[in-house]
Structure 1
Amino acid sequence: MNKAKSWFKNRVCILATMHKKEKVMASLLEDKIQMKVIVPDNFNTDQFGTFTREIKRLGNQTEAARFKAQKALEITGETLAITSEGSFFPHPSIPFVSCNRELVLLLDTVNEIEIIATELSFDTNHSHTSIQTVEEALSFAKKVGFPDHGLVVMSRADPEKSEKIFKGITNKKELIDTVKITLNSSPENKAHIETDMRAMYNPTRMKVIAKTTETLINKILTTCPNCDVPGFDIVDTKPGLPCQMCHFPTTLIKSEVYQCQKCHHQEIRDYPNDLKYADPMYCNYCNP
């Protein structure tokens, strides 16, 4: 047995979600880590922030996930929790392309460790627009994968100025009726429509959550070579990967620094992904 599994085997793990994330997370955690995953009843994760923005996220992405895990342990009396938190934002280099950054966090209060995994994906239907007709709403819906993916309709993009927010729309009649109601109640005859990014209404996001959970599992199973604590992970990177043509150091990563969060043992591992040389296009000497 992997040494990390002995830390978690048969322990109750609270999965802090109200959006059905257990559908893609629970079996992975139970099969590969052998913990017993339980979703608490009536656990309201909306208190930590909503995608529709009427409740602002509590802290940054990591802090919000940590707050959820801590609250779940507080109300259940357990000692092990896993939670996830998603963010959507424009790609830093391609502003018109949306990205999905998922974060999954494990909190173990018995052993006083926290392990975090993240994934950045361009595979997302995250989108929104202003509409004035039912036809425009249906056109938008078709582009974002409706009805498999749910929609949100509100009178204005700013939820604080919207009289009502309609969430979880998953069939055509409901969409048409909701758009008509919203347009008729709007003085400007406009409505705001967007993708519902809650996991249970967004199978594309669910896939990214599953992938992030697998990344977390791999981190859990990576133990410190000095003290066997799970979560021996990268804390820093060092540039300097040599150019394949002239061997001049480039800005690409040459080494990764791993560190244990318990004993602080460190290891420097060269050439991530077995890449020992950089393409000359990244070299300031060969390609100034």
Structure 2
Amino acid sequence: MLSSMHGKEQAIGPVFLANLNLIVTPANGIDTDALGTFSGEIPRCGTMLEVAVAKARIGMDISGLPFGIASEGSFGPHPLFPIMPGGFELMVFVDDERGTVIHESLVIDDTNFAHLVTAPKDSISKFLSQVGFPSHGLMVCPNLGNSAAAIVKGIVDLPSVESAIAGAAALSGDGRARVETDMRAHLNPTRMKNLSGLATRLSDRLLHGCPSCAAPGWGRVKMIRGLPCEICDTTTESVMLEVFGCVACPHHEERPRADGLIQAESVHCPACNP
């Protein structure tokens, strides 16, 4: 059972059916916005993993099924290149038959996440083209003041954008409106594509059994940093080892990097490149 109000079954369903022969069905009557919204009027309470698990359990409670799927996304400056927009997606598979929670995550490079502060008579055509409007939806709110109370979401046509900007600007302390990308999955094809990729990653993990107990969900659980510099041997923040583990038993294994790299480039060294 998938806990989603925003059509994520379109991205997740085909992957789980092809890879696992599992039919993914969205839960009826679910309100995932109660756990937090992108627009900020309802803050997320807890970590992304905690919220994703809570979301999955809502669908499981409604359906009475022992399995649940849910995802959480976060967007802002890229975690590695802060001058660029980026995101982080997390997806969980809750299995109450085995008492396990299996999750995978994905750092997002390909996103249209952006915003623009504008006045009603300003041209925003360049911004609209940049964010993929109208195939990708928008949100508009006052730039200053109680933006959450006056936000308009799910905008997919130009007259509605212009009307929302005029209304938001009239309520704003500076006479301007904030136009943002609507990052909800059903209004963001780029995010849907990323969710499909994450579903592939999660389904692949579900296919791998633990070497010790055979429970599904074997995969990487941690990274150990400390790869030595290629020039001076100083410890760097680059990943040295990958830790694989089981979600059902204590079995863990430390493995070298998958790419075989045993030294870090000097550009990442705090001594050579302070």
TM-score (norm 1): 0.85
> What is the 5 A alignment of 1:47-196?
47-92=34-79, 94-156=81-143, 160-186=146-172, 188-196=174-182
SS of equivalent residue, structure 2 residue 143: coil
The aligned residue for residue 254 of structure 1 is 240
Q: Which runs of 5+ in 2 are unaligned?
A: none
State the shift of 1:257 in Å: 1.8
Q: 1:285 to 1:87 in 2, by over 3 A?
A: closer
State the shift of 1:238 in Å: 3.1
* Residue range with higher mean Cα deviation, 54-63 or 90-99: 90-99
SS of equivalent residue, structure 2 residue 18: helix
Q: Which runs of 5+ in 1 are unaligned?
A: 1-13
Q: 1:164 to 1:287 in 2, by over 3 A?
A: closer
The aligned residue for residue 189 of structure 2 is 203
Q: 1:147 to 1:77 in 2, by over 3 A?
A: same
d(CA) in 1 for partners of 2:246, 2:58: 26
d(CA) in 2 for partners of 1:94, 1:243: 21
Tell whether the 8 Å contact from 2:3 to 2:32 is kept in structure 1 after alignment.
yes
Q: Does 2:214 correspond to 1:219?
A: no
The aligned residue for residue 21 of structure 1 is 8
Tell whether the 8 Å contact from 2:141 to 2:179 is kept in structure 1 after alignment.
yes
State the shift of 1:242 in Å: 5.2
State the shift of 1:97 in Å: 1.9
The aligned residue for residue 9 of structure 1 is none
* Residue range with higher mean Cα deviation, 162-171 or 197-206: 162-171
Tell whether the 8 Å contact from 1:155 to 1:163 is kept in structure 2 after alignment.
no
Q: 1:281 to 1:189 in 2, by over 3 A?
A: closer
The aligned residue for residue 232 of structure 1 is 218
SS of equivalent residue, structure 1 residue 204: helix
- Identity, in percent, stands at 34
Deviation per CA, 1:160-215: give whole Å up to 9, x if none: 44542211111112212222333345564221211111011111111211111111
Tell whether the 8 Å contact from 2:77 to 2:86 is kept in structure 1 after alignment.
yes
State the shift of 1:34 in Å: 1.1
SS of equivalent residue, structure 1 residue 38: coil
The aligned residue for residue 30 of structure 2 is 43
d(CA) in 2 for partners of 1:92, 1:191: 27
- Say how many residue pairs are matched: 273
d(CA) in 1 for partners of 2:267, 2:117: 42
d(CA) in 2 for partners of 1:39, 1:223: 27
Q: 1:284 to 1:32 in 2, by over 3 A?
A: same
Q: 1:97 to 1:245 in 2, by over 3 A?
A: closer
d(CA) in 2 for partners of 1:141, 1:286: 43
d(CA) in 1 for partners of 2:141, 2:272: 54
SS of equivalent residue, structure 2 residue 122: helix
* Residue range with higher mean Cα deviation, 256-265 or 21-30: 256-265
d(CA) in 1 for partners of 2:144, 2:173: 15
Query: Superposition RMSD on alpha carbons, in Å?
Result: 2.4
Q: 1:245 to 1:114 in 2, by over 3 A?
A: same
d(CA) in 2 for partners of 1:192, 1:284: 40
SS of equivalent residue, structure 1 residue 274: coil
